[in-house]
Chains A and B, each alone.
Chain A
Amino acid sequence: MKLLLVGEYRDAGLAAEVAGLFGFARLLDAEVSMVLVGREADLPAFEGRLWLADVDTYGEYAPDRHKSLVLEAARREAPDAVVLLHSSYGWDLAPRVAAALNAALVSGVTGLDDGGYVVECCNGKMRRTVRPLTEPVVLTLQPGAFGQDALNGSPEIRYLEADGETSIECLGFSRPETGIDLSHAVAIVSAGRGIGSKEHLGLVRALADALGAEVGASRPVVDAGWLERARQVGMSGQNVSPGLYVACGISGSIQHLAGMKGSGFVLAINTDSQAPIGNVADVLVVADLVDFLPLLTAQLASRC
């Protein structure tokens, strides 16, 4: 099996999750080459051909140009699969490549199974196995699903050029201020959409106080304006690893888990016993948080 990996250069550096692409290739015992819009000073270590285009020329986000580059590398390599990360870069680019190749695209692969690829569905609650019916196939891999092993070797660089036209003008990058650093918190109590209304935040705060914990949130709570954006935990928020993480009314989507799976002890409170947060929780309490949180807070307080 021959894979063309699509590397990813993000925020002035090679994205760390790129290691997962090689982990996947190792699992398949595949021959690899990579195409990367990046910089010669910061290259992945591996044995194989590296089709390199300069990020200053082709931009960090210019998907139509990047598509041409990937297609050009695919034409030279004739791979069985073109493999990207299921990241903001990868899910944007992969369907463009698949459409041009008239190929099947399997998104968010987390494993291999029975001649197919395992993907999540129903917001992480369920799984299924998807089999491509075409060759080649385009895949996006869930970041972190295939290991983060250190790489070694030195690639054989081939410089790549493609049509420089783009109809998407990138005006620049920004990062909203955070101000709240949850990454060193010893305990975090996070509120999810399951709290139902802003009024119930008080229950979450009271529990956090009883535990000496910080308050965190899932994304819908932040989007609704119930808590500051700086408290968002997850892929597009903060990465946290407290000793105790309490998830109140959080379903456990892959994007939320991405930010808290390094936590020590995970306590989840959810009315749905099947909620995917159960896949990472140490204890899942099946209860309505409106009833349960005050009782838990009272019980904690009564111990002193």
Chain B
Amino acid sequence: MWFPSIRMISWMNILVCVKQVPDMEGRFVPNTDESWHEESGLAWRMNDHDTFAVEQALLLREQLKGGATVTVLSIGAARVVETIRKSLAMGCVHGVHIEDPMACERDPWQIASMIAGFARQRKFDLVFTGMQSEDRCSAQVGVLVAERLGYVCVTGIIAFAWQDAAITVERELEGGRRCTVRLKVPALLTCQPGLNTPRYPTLPFIMKSKRAVIEVLLPESVGLDEPKVSSRGFRAAERKAPVVVLEGESKRLAVEVVSLLEQRGVVTGRGGVR
């Protein structure tokens, strides 16, 4: 008699949520109603935390010897397709774009409503998101999605292991302390830098990603909630102390800095710190 081998999960359906954000070294100019910033003049890339989410999904697929599908989802204007292709170039297979030119003005509740609406249709076992987005810094979307789906959720993971259909993760706490946690799928995990080392895209995947067909959906088809907050007064952070800003030729700057340090008594004439 033949017995099939019993495995809890023979195929993992994994979702990774990636956000495209501006490079933070750019110059941010408020838009006309100061609800957010102008888009012109900024360079765009994948949210740093999300690169760790992509990598973890790919590592798990490798551990499962390919027994997993990794879908990557991004919500945003047409430009976010570049970020989806970047994930495909790293090795993700399916790219999904919820095309929403207003996405950057949506609050976390609305973004979560779309992600959860999409995820509910596709029945994912495991969802990876970043712990927070660098532009919004809200750290909300992942947990809100999990709550909507009724999935177990752990935030800010810096270690991940999959064994015998259970997941063990480490959460990072204040002062470098860690908490080890075990859970089962279906689950959503939000990823912290330090979790792994995101890979560089490789040539075969880059070629594939260029040709890949990306599924495009509209917000209405997945469900878009009304906002819960409004945003205004986008502005530069106020500087607490009147900071001395020195610019110019480097050699002259070095001389200036040393005399400033001496003046303020931070270093003494003899070298070394006071």
CA distance A60 to B179 in the complex (A): 10
Interface flag for B136 (CB, 8 Å): yes
Which residues from chain A contact B183 at a C-beta distance below 8 Å? 167-169
Given A274-B27, A283-B246, also A296-B258 (CB < 8 A): yes
Interface of B, helix, strand, loop or mixed by DSSP:
mixed
Interface contact A168-B228, CB-CB below 8 Å: no
Known: A88-B156, A128-B233, A244-B273. A278 touches B139 (CB 8 A): no
Could you tell me the distance in whole angstroms from the C-beta of B161 to the nearest C-beta in chain A?
A: 12
Closest Cβ of chain B: how far from A263's Cβ, in Å? 11
Chain B stretch 29-73: residues in CB contact (< 8 A) with chain A: 34-37
Instruction: Assess whether B4 is interfacial by the CB under 8 Å rule.
Output: no
Is A81 in contact with chain B by the CB < 8 A criterion? no
Q: Is the CB of B233 within 8 A of A278?
A: no
Q: Which residue of A lies closest to B269 (CB)?
A: A303
- The answer to whether A88 and B233 touch across the interface, beta carbons within 8 angstroms, is no
Interface size on A, residues (CB 8 A): 103
Q: Choose among A98, A167, A210 the residue that contacts B271 (Cβ–Cβ < 8 A).
A: A210
Q: Judge whether A107 and B138 touch: CB under 8 Å.
A: yes
Are B180 and A170 touching (Cβ within 8 A)?
Answer: yes
Given A87-B174, A295-B250, A283:B231 Cβ within 8 A: no
* Min C-beta distance of A208 to chain B, whole Å: 10
- 8 A Cβ contacts from A50-92 to B: 60-61, 63-64, 86-89, 91-92
Tell whether A129 pairs with B233 under 8 Å between CB atoms, given A171-B182, A278-B243. Answer: yes
What DSSP secondary structure best describes chain A's contact surface? mixed
A88 to B271, CA, bound (A): 42
Q: Are A187 and B228 in contact (CB under 8 A)?
A: no
Q: How near does chain A come to B242, taking the closest CB pair, in angstroms? A: 9
A281 within 8 A of partner (CB): yes
Tally of contact residues, B, Cβ under 8 A: 84
Q: Which of B152, B177, B250, B269 has the most CB of A within 10 A?
A: B250
A62 to chain B, nearest CB (A): 9
Q: Which of B7-15, B95-103, B141-149 contacts A (4 or more CB under 8 A)?
A: B141-149
* Surface stretch bound by A, among B86-94, B165-173, B201-209, B212-220: B165-173
Query: How far apart are the CA atoms of A299 and B257 in the complex, in Å?
Result: 9
Q: Which residues from chain A contact B270 at a C-beta distance below 8 Å? A: 303-304
Residue A133 is within 8 A (CB to CB) of chain B in the complex: yes
Q: Given A129-B231, A301-B271 in contact, is the A88-B171 Cβ separation under 8 Å?
A: yes
A176 touches B156 (CB 8 A): no
B200: min CB distance to chain A, Å: 14
Residue contacts A-B, CB under 8 angstroms, 11 given: A95-B139, A99-B144, A131-B231, A133-B230, A173-B180, A210-B271, A244-B266, A274-B28, A283-B246, A283-B260, A304-B270
